[in-house]
Amino acid sequence: MSDMIKIKVHIGTGFAGCTHDDVYEYPRESWEAMTEREREDLLDEFAIEFRNERIECSSWVIDE
């Protein structure tokens, strides 16, 4: 068994063929020491980081 766990992260934009995937590695020992809630929070952090690195989104006023 590997000392690292693999966490797959996926973004789907809703357009055909517009997806992004990546795999992060995280130390198994740290993962196994976490509570279920801590694991969920970590997965959320990976997903948010991945999304923020690949998607540009902004807004502005066009008419007042």
- Write out the chain's pLDDT in tens, 64 residues: 799 999 999 998 888 878 899 999 999 999 999 999 999 999 999 999 999 988 888 899 999 8
Q: What is the pLDDT of residue 13?
A: 80
Its pTM stands at: 0.78
Q: What is the pLDDT of residue 44?
A: 95
Give CA separation, 46 vs 5, 6, 24, 60, in Å: 13, 12, 8, 28
Domain coordinates of the chain in residue numbers?
A: 4-54
Q: What is the pLDDT of residue 57?
A: 83
Q: State the alpha helices, DSSP H only, in the chain.
A: 28-33, 36-54
Contact 36, 42 (CB under 8 A): no
Q: What is the pLDDT of residue 45?
A: 95
Whose structure tokens read 């995280």?
26
Reference 13, options 43, 57, 60, 45; nearest CA is 57
